[in-house]
């Protein structure tokens, strides 16, 4: 029997996943800055501290490096921490523990431990928070073997992938775009998982493939809807997981459409679109390509404070429409 499906916001979906985990698994606990009575900077943990107590919803001092290491240590000794960075930008303080310890510990110890650690990174621009609170750094972590990195784009996936992450024995890094938190979508009740490593064809089409991540999935769908009116039929792939990438789904799509546009918010250079493009260019799909592979990524600048400049620094729907149209029409 199917679970009842409600409309929930993205942040409610994440919260519901955490509540289910806290309820069903005594090893699960939450750690982060102001996730207790404050409810989290983006109100994602909400009232979980009231429901599960301050011992399982831990407000930590402003100590990202140490806190991340505490989560690593707890993970290797039998717990299942969910660690929230208040902003993904603060991961810059904890790269040591994420990259040198969490990602490598199992390997360095020859398989003697697992590091079942989930970390959540509220990411992205659009809130007027300027250069140090608006970054999209997921590509850094996708460059690191030992980690899994996901970017759920919908409330449904946010819940299901978080629950999948909690079942994963290895460290899973979840990038959540801040502008998605308020977005609503259909979310089943109860426990379900959405597999890590599987992309979703959010819109089937035949004229070109757009591979998008996170909030860009929605912008790409909007662009696709607009272009449908012009008779251009775009396939939109929601990549969902950026390490490991679902090669097969992307390759099959490109073989079908012969055109590829990658859309992502992170800085274009060495953002995830670079990997998608390179993956296709060295794959069997190369021979199917009828046009250059186009990337639409963030500008080569920090995120500016001024709201107009801020918007101009990352791809917007009109940019995607223009790029996709040119790609399909063979202009560049």
Partner 1 sequence: MSATAKKAAAGAANVPFAFRAYTPDQLRGVLHKMHLIRKFEEGAEDSYTRGLIHGTMHLSIGQEASALGICAPLKADDQITSTHRGHGHCIAKGAQVDRMFAEFFGKTTGYCKGRGGSMHIADVSAGNLGANGIVAGGIPIAVGAALSAKMQKNGKVVVCFFGDGANNEGAFHESLNMAAIWKLPVVFVCENNGYGMSTSTARSTAVERIADRAAAYAMPGVTVNGNDFSAVAEASTTAVERARRGEGPSLIETKTYRHRGHSKSDRNRYRTKEEIEEWKAMRDPINLFEAELQQFGVIDEAGIAAVRAAVEAEIAAGIEFAKTSPAPAAAEGLNFVYTELQ
Ligand X SMILES: Cc1ncc(C[n+]2csc(CCOP(=O)(O)OP(=O)(O)O)c2C)c(N)n1
Residue 138 makes CB contacts below 8 A (sequence gap 6+) with 88, 121, 123, 149, 151, 173, 175, 213, 242, 266, 272
Residue of the chain from 19, 95, 130, 225 that contacts partner 1 (CB under 8 A): 130
The span from the CA of 218 to the CA of 238, in Å, is 9
Helices (H) and strands (E) in the chain, counts: 12, 14
Span interacting with ligand X, options 85-93, 202-210, 217-225, 304-312, rule CB under 6 A: 85-93
44 interface partner picked from ligand X, partner 1, a copy of itself, none, CB below 5 to 8 A per type = none
Q: Minimum distance from CB of 70 to a copy of itself (Å)?
A: 16
Q: Minimum distance from CB of 17 to partner 1 (Å)?
A: 21
Q: Minimum distance from CB of 330 to partner 1 (Å)?
A: 28
State which residue, 281 or 322, has the beta carbon closest to a copy of itself: 281
Q: Where are the beta strands (DSSP E) in the chain?
A: 5-9, 28-32, 57-59, 80-84, 118-123, 148-150, 172-177, 184-188, 200-203, 208-212, 234-238, 241-243, 260-267, 294-298
State which residue, 107 or 286, has the beta carbon closest to partner 1: 107
Task: Say if residues 270 and 139 touch (Cβ distance below 8 Å).
Answer: yes
Q: Minimum distance from CB of 35 to a copy of itself (Å)?
A: 21
Task: Pick the closest to residue 101 from 83, 87, 124 (CA basis).
Answer: 83
Q: β-pairing, 57-59 with 28-32?
A: parallel
Q: Minimum distance from CB of 82 to ligand X (Å)?
A: 18
Q: Is 167 in the site for partner 1 (CB under 8 A)?
A: no
Q: Which residues are catalytic?
A: 64, 133
Report the side by side order of strands in the sheet with 172-177: 57-59, 28-32, 80-84, 118-123, 172-177, 148-150, 241-243
Q: β-pairing, 200-203 with 234-238?
A: antiparallel
Residue of the chain from 188, 302, 319, 326 that contacts partner 1 (CB under 8 A): 302
Reduced to 3 states (helix: H, G, I; strand: E, B; else coil), residue 44 is coil
120 interface partner picked from ligand X, partner 1, a copy of itself, none, CB below 5 to 8 A per type = none
Task: Pick the closest to residue 52 from 32, 42, 37 (CA basis).
Answer: 37
Task: Say if residues 161 and 13 touch (Cβ distance below 8 Å).
Answer: no
- The footprint of partner 1 on residues 200-239 (CB under 8 A) is none
- The footprint of partner 1 on residues 51-70 (CB under 8 A) is 55, 59-70
202 interface partner picked from a copy of itself, ligand X, partner 1, none, CB below 5 to 8 A per type = none
CA separation (Å) from 243 to 22, 146, 209, 272, 307?
26, 9, 20, 10, 32
Task: Say if residues 63 and 90 touch (Cβ distance below 8 Å).
Answer: no
State which residue, 64 or 200, has the beta carbon closest to ligand X: 64
The span from the CA of 136 to the CA of 120, in Å, is 13
Span interacting with a copy of itself, options 33-41, 119-127, 197-205, 266-274, rule CB under 8 A: 266-274
Q: Is 101 in the site for ligand X (CB under 6 A)?
A: no
Q: Minimum distance from CB of 154 to ligand X (Å)?
A: 27
State which residue, 63 or 329, has the beta carbon closest to partner 1: 63
State which residue, 70 or 201, has the beta carbon closest to partner 1: 70
36 interface partner picked from ligand X, a copy of itself, partner 1, none, CB below 5 to 8 A per type = partner 1
- The footprint of a copy of itself on residues 293-332 (CB under 8 A) is 293-295, 299-302, 304-305
- The footprint of ligand X on residues 18-77 (CB under 6 A) is 33, 62, 64
Q: Is 278 in the site for a copy of itself (CB under 8 A)?
A: yes
Residue numbers at the binding site for ligand X (CB under 6 A): 33, 62, 64, 86, 90, 93
């Amino acid at each position: 029997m199917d679970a009842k499906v409600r409309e929930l916001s993205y942040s409610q979906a994440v919260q519901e996943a955490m509540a289910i985990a806290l309820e069903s698994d005594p090893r699960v606990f939450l750690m982060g800055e102001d996730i207790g009575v404050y409810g989290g900077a983006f109100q994602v943990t909400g009232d979980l501290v009231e429901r599960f107590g301050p011992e399982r919803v831990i407000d930590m001092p402003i100590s990202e490096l140490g806190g991340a290491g505490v989560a690593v240590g707890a993970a290797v000794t039998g717990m299942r921490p969910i660690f929230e960075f208040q902003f993904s930008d603060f991961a810059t303080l904890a790269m040591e523990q994420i990259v040198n310890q969490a990602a490598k510990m199992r390997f360095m110890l020859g398989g003697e431990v697992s590091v079942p650690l989930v970390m959540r990174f509220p990411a992205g621009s659009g809130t007027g928070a300027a250069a140090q609170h608006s970054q999209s750094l997921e590509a850094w972590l996708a460059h690191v073997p030992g980690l899994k990195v996901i970017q759920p784009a919908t409330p449904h996936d946010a819940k299901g992938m978080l629950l999948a992450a909690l079942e994963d024995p290895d460290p899973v890094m979840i990038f959540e775009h801040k502008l998605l938190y308020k977005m609503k979508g259909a979310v089943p009740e109860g426990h379900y998982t959405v597999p890590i490593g599987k992309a979703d064809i959010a819109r089937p089409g035949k004229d070109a493939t757009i591979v998008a991540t996170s909030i860009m999935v929605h912008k790409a769908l909007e662009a696709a809807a607009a272009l449908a009116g012009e008779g251009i039929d775009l396939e939109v792939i929601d990549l969902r997981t950026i390490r490991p990438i679902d090669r097969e789904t992307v390759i099959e799509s490109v073989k079908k459409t012969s055109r590829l546009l990658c859309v992502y918010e992170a800085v274009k250079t060495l953002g995830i679109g670079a990997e998608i493009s390179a993956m296709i260019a060295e794959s069997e799909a190369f021979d199917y390509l009828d046009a250059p592979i186009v990337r639409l990524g963030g500008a080569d600048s920090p995120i500016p404070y001024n709201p107009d400049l801020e918007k101009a620094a990352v791809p917007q729907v009109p940019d995607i429409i223009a790029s996709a149209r040119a790609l399909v029409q063979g202009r560049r």
